[in-house]
Structure 1
Amino acid sequence: MRPEVALPILIPLLSGAISLMFWRSHFMQRLVAVAGSGALLLTSLWLMASVNADGILVMHMGDWEAPFGITLVADLLGAIMVVLTGIIGFAVALYSLASVGRGHEAFGYFPLMHLLLAGVAGAFLTGDIFNLYVWFEVMLVASFALLILGSEKPQMEGAIKYVTLNLLSSVIFLTAVGLLYGLVGTLNMADIAQRLSQVEDNGMIDVLAVMFMVAFGIKAAAFPLFFWLPASYHTPPVAVSALFAGLLTKVGVYALFRVFTLIFNQSPDYTHEIMVWGAGLTMLSGVLGAAAQFEFRRILSFHIVSQIGYMILGLALFTPLAIIGGVFYIMHHIIVKTNLFLVSGIVKRLRGTYELKRLGGLYKSHPWLAILFLIPALSLAGMPPLSGFFAKFIVIRAGIEAEAYGVTFIALLVGLLTLYSMTKIWAEVFWKAPPEPRDDDKEIPAISHRELWQLYVPVVGLALCTLFIGLNGQPIYALAEASAEQLLDPARYIEAVLGQGGEVTP
């Protein structure tokens, strides 16, 4: 029995339940949010240390051995993703103390936040393909409720697009799960991987692979069905945007990595060729959309799409170096993108708007905020010695070694256009002189020192994480390399889940 495998799921579920018990207590809601997310971070670090020391960890629910019972599995990739979930959950919980009003709290912001974190952690740790679908639906319910908190018109419009595309993804996913079960008679992912290698109907396997690719591609906001993301992520409270930006699309990316290294690895020439060009078009469409925007969060939302392309490219090239690059890129991007959204929230709190044309002069009035923006912004653009440089370098080098020159050129071009977008934000928000006041400008409430510290502390923490990844690239690379080795050797996963040799009586 390894309790550390289940605790990252149980702690946010328990925290959410306690928050509901203290529904009317403003103080307790906030205390549970910080304590619960802090406990999630600590247990995720415990899980990472255990996986590092003991290898792949497996926990069978109710003592029902796999493949007959529900199984939780933590390999290095899953453990890495859970640690990142803990970091982002804790940072957003601290930030929410100053950015989420009592009106949103009264409608269940903190219980929904805990439910979302439980769904994300569950998706990263489940060893069952149907339970992956269940955790996806938990995330969908929690994220939709968070998206419409406040019930403003832009939120409702964004939420409709968000839930429509994600429900389409869920329908395709569930249909694929049903067909897969009919083909192999099991839902345990390790058992599916073992049995699928014995199936002779390669055509059906290819159809299922494409269905899973489309379902997870929608969840990850990959081309062509990505438009739900920039239509919705700029509409909710900024803490919600930051939580979504860091974690939600990465669950789709994680599912692609899991399924296409463990289950559908029989004909990578077919499925991965599709992913290569899907990754290239995702990068291009996202960065061009960002270049056309002049609203802080919309620019960042489009850049989520473009950066997802780099991660998918790492999987699509399917070489050891490319998988390392994909995992490294995920680690870098979750930290950086969340931080950029948190910075945008501070700008909004100081100046009352996200519109670039109505901003300016923050470098002179708030120089520390300007520096805290530059660290994740330049990292996102891939400037050395920050984390994004190493992430892009590994993926691009893998593309050159794989002789995928077309998509590698796109990756380089997208890096330059990303730098253009970040420079545009810097020039408009921080460098230029503040614009003249307008008659329709609303009065901005004064900000207290306590509120300012609550906003700044998580931003500083995530900026330090970005600097740590960039300045200590070797141990992070080694971690990504060990994770890639596990992903490219599915027999280790199968043996850990099903036992020695992976043989199970049907």
Structure 2
Amino acid sequence: MAATKTGVDIAAAMITHPTAAADWLLVAPVLLCMVGGATTLILRKNVRIQPLVGISLLALLVLTNLGLFAHVWQNGVVTMVMGQWLPPFGIAFTADALGVTLALIASIVGLLAGIYAAGSIAASERRYGFYPFLFMLLCGVSGAFLTGDIFNLYVWFEVLLISSFGLLVLGNTTLQIDGALKYALLNLIGTTLFLIATGLLYGLLGTLNMADIALKSRALGDSGPLLGISALYFLAFAMKAAAFPVNFWLPASYHTPRIVVSALFAGLLTKVGVYALLRVLVLLLPAGHNWMHGLITVVAIVTMLTGVLGALAQADVRRTIGYLVISGIGSMLAGIAVGSEVALTGAIMYAVHSILAMTALFLIFGITGKDRGTFNLRELGGMYRRAPLLSAATLILLFAAVGLPPFSGFWPKVLLVDGALAAGQGWLAGTILLASILTAITVGRIWIFAFWRGGPEGIADGTQGVETGPEAMPLQVPFTAWLPLAVLIAMIFWLGLQPEGLMQLAETGAHTLLDPTAYVQSVFGVTP
């Protein structure tokens, strides 16, 4: 007897139509980073060609993210599910205004760091993995910004964490090993808490898909287990973002690696932690966010103040910038604490500003540090005479860090203060302004010590010292350093003078976090 075939209708479980060509852009940044990492690893022995290939692939990554950005801008939230499985079973990549904006900015910073490294990273350090580690770091960052699955957010955290270990110890000095141990300890604890919270969340809701979690958590309400899981997530991501009191690893480690690595870390890594707080606490677990409102507010205030006061107390300019990064994290947490659309818009805009400004500050002080052979403010000085253009560029970046107009940091702080006042939290708004005043004092001290005065400590200003010695020659800044700085400064200027585009993107991202309708509809194809 001939066997009879039984037809199986897979339409209820599987995607039966082909994926649209434009939707492949969702996974293209991650795939391109993997290809870039593998290619530069293969070329590790050819240290001349490797940077050219790496920079070319980084430029292609920026173009890919631009294409994805245009796709999301035109069509709203877009989703691609792996393996043809329908959500919530298939692993989803979901790009909304928040994720795609941060992914694009991260790729631009990665490209500029790759250019800067071509003139600052030694051939031996290229051979031992700078560019492969850079690509894997961007792979983890891109995946974190674009994933629609909470467990895969954990996976991408692991990818960027492992690659950051490699970048941190590149150079193999005692100081780097010491910084790496402190960095690794707190981040591994944070990652473990993240994994535990995700396991508990899966046990409670039976799903890992972010859109599905957003629906089921709202239906569950403010149950005790859900609030406890929210607290675990907050602690884990607060460690990643370097929020008080689990932030001591950042100033203890960010000053130890090569300066371009410090710039990457300051620009990107803590912002992935802030992004995770926005995505998980506001979009996925709003009941937990509301329950922890007071705690997040206190953490934001203390993070802002301890960060800027720590910066005032430092003599090493790299540690000073590290503490300024922490203070900026407090400002973003203030937006999350308030939780209104205006405040969240300010937090998202501030994240973009901080990525650009903190990266640029580390890069520009890498030039002065290399020239003087030190990052100690007491041993710097006289740079204004030797490099007036560099001094002016530094002053612009320091003003931007304060949040003065017409630079990119001004509008986010306006929105954060406005959101805090509208929510009746005047003391939170006052803390934001106080932190800005203290930041102005901090950066004024940096510029006076490093640029304005005549020379290192002990040399009289305007009489004799470095201006009469061999160091009186004009400082020659290589093109590989000037180009990234020029692009970053131009972006900081543009976002300060023309903030409407970024503000609209941030508003859309904040609205999607507060109202997940568009996010859920993109994943499931129906309105919840």
TM range (shorter): over 0.9
Q: CA deviation at 1:70?
A: 1.0
TM superposition shift of 1:496: 0.9
Check conservation: 1:261, 1:490, Cα contact below 8 A. Answer: no
What is the 5 A alignment of 1:129-278?
Answer: 129-199=150-220, 202-266=223-287, 268-278=289-299
CA distance in 1, matches of 2:199, 2:504: 38
Partner deviation per Cα, 1:168-204 (whole Å, 9 max, x = no partner): 0011110001111100111111111212233367111
In the alignment, which of 333, 343, 347 is matched to residue 368 of structure 2? 347
Matched residue SS, 1:387 = coil
Q: Residues 10-21 of structure 1: matches in 2 within 5 Å?
A: 10-21=31-42
Task: State yes or no: 1:363 paired with 2:384.
Answer: yes
Report the CA distance between 1:447 and its aligned residue.
Answer: 11
2:145 aligned with 1:124, yes or no? yes
How far is 1:484 from its partner? 1.5
Which position in structure 1 is the counterpart of 2:491?
A: 465
**1:30 — aligned with what?**
51
Distance between the aligned counterparts of 2:275 and 2:426, measured in 1?
A: 25
Q: Give the structure 2 partner of residue 82 of structure 1.
A: 103
Deviates more, 1:451-460 or 1:307-316: 451-460
> How far apart are 1:466 and its partner, in Å?
0.2
Give deviations 1:74-123, integer Å, cap 9, x for gaps.
00000101111111001100100111011211211110010000000000
User: In the comparison of the two structures, how many residue pairs are matched?
Assistant: 496
* Residue identity in the other structure for 2:493: L
Of residues 475-484 and 271-280 in structure 1, the stretch that sits farther from structure 2 once superposed is 475-484
Rounded Cα–Cα distance in structure 2 between residues aligned with 1:460 and 1:267: 42
> Counterparts of 2:221 and 2:388 in 1: how far apart (Å)?
64
> Once the two structures are superposed, what CA deviation does each residue of 1:45-65 show, in whole Å capped at 9, x if it has no partner?
111111010010101112122
Residue identity opposite 2:508 in structure 1: A
Aligned to 1:388: 409
Q: Partner of 2:94 in structure 1?
A: 73
Q: Name the SS for the 1:58 alignment partner.
A: strand
Is 2:454 the counterpart of 1:433?
yes
- Specify the structure having the higher radius of gyration (Cα): 2
Whether 2:77 is the aligned partner of 1:51: answer no
* Partner Cα separation in structure 2 for residue 19 and residue 28 of structure 1: 9
SS of the equivalent of 1:73 reads strand
1:501 equivalent in alignment to 2:501: no
Cα distance in 2, alignment partners of residues 91 and 54 from structure 1: 29
Q: 1:364 to 1:485 in 2, by over 3 A?
A: same
In structure 2, relative to structure 1, the CA distance for the partners of 1:316 and 1:65 (3 Å cut) is same
Whole-angstrom CA distance in 1 between matches of 2:221 and 2:431: 37
Deviation of 1:491 (Å): 1.9
Residue deviations 1:271-296, cap 9 Å, x none? 22211111111101111110000111
TM-superposed deviation, 1:476: 2.0
Aligned equivalents of 1:476, 1:312: Cα separation in 2: 19
Distance 1:383 1:293 in 2: 23
Aligned letter for 2:90? G
2:481 aligned partner: 455
Does residue 450 of structure 2 align to residue 424 of structure 1?
no
1:484 aligns with 2:506: no
Q: Distance in 1 between matches of 2:504 and 2:148?
A: 25
The two structures have a TM-score, normalised by structure 1, of 0.95
**What amino acid is the match of 2:69?**
M
8 Å CA contact retained: 2:386, 2:475: no
Cα distance, 1:267 vs. partner? 5.1
Give the match's secondary structure for 2:93: strand
Q: Is the 8 A contact 1:314 1:323 kept in 2?
A: yes
Deviation larger for 100-109 or 298-307: 100-109
Change (3 A) 1:447 1:7: farther
Segments of 5+ residues of structure 1 without an aligned counterpart are none
Q: Secondary structure at the match of 2:527?
A: helix
Aligned residue for 2:340?
A: 319
Q: Distance in 2 between the 1:338 and 1:483 partners? A: 23
Aligned-residue CA RMSD (Å):
1.7
- Amino acid corresponding to residue 394 of structure 1 in structure 2: L
Give the aligned residue type for 2:497: L
Separation (CA, whole Å) in 2 of partners of 1:305 and 1:201: 31
Classify 1:268/1:24 alpha carbon distance in 2 versus 1 (closer, same or farther; 3 Å).
closer
Q: How far is 1:475 from its partner?
A: 2.2
Alpha-carbon distance in structure 1 between the residues aligned to 2:71 and 2:190: 34
Partner in structure 2 of residue 94 of structure 1:
115
**Structure 2: distance between partners of 1:448 and 1:375:** 19
Gapped regions of structure 2 (runs ≥ 5): 1-18, 460-464
Separation of aligned partners in 2, 1:475 and 1:402: 25
Identify if the C-alpha distance between structure 1 residues 173 and 496 changes in structure 2 by more than 3 Å, giving closer, same or farther. same
Once the 2 structures are TM-superposed, how far is the Cα of residue 448 of structure 1 from its aligned partner?
Answer: 9.9
Per-residue CA distance 1:342-399 (angstroms, 9 max, x = gap): 0010111221111111111111110111111111210110111211111111101111
Q: Percent identity?
A: 41
- Encode CA deviations 1:312-371: one digit per residue, 9 max, x unaligned: 111110111101111111111110110000001011122111111111111111011111
Q: How far 1:409 sits from its partner (Å)?
A: 1.5
Rounded to whole Å, the distance in 1 between the matches of 2:197 and 2:49 is: 43
Could you tell me whether the CA contact under 8 Å between 2:386 and 2:474 is conserved in 1? no
Structure 1: distance between partners of 2:198 and 2:262:
30
Are the equivalent residues in 2 in contact too, given 1:19–1:28 (CA < 8 A)? no
Q: TM-score, normalised by structure 2?
A: 0.91
Q: Partner residue of 2:124?
A: 103
Q: Which amino acid aligns with 2:280?
A: V
Counterpart Cα distance in 2 of 1:364 and 1:415: 29
Paired residue secondary structure (2:444) = helix
Q: Distance in 1 between matches of 2:230 and 2:378?
A: 45
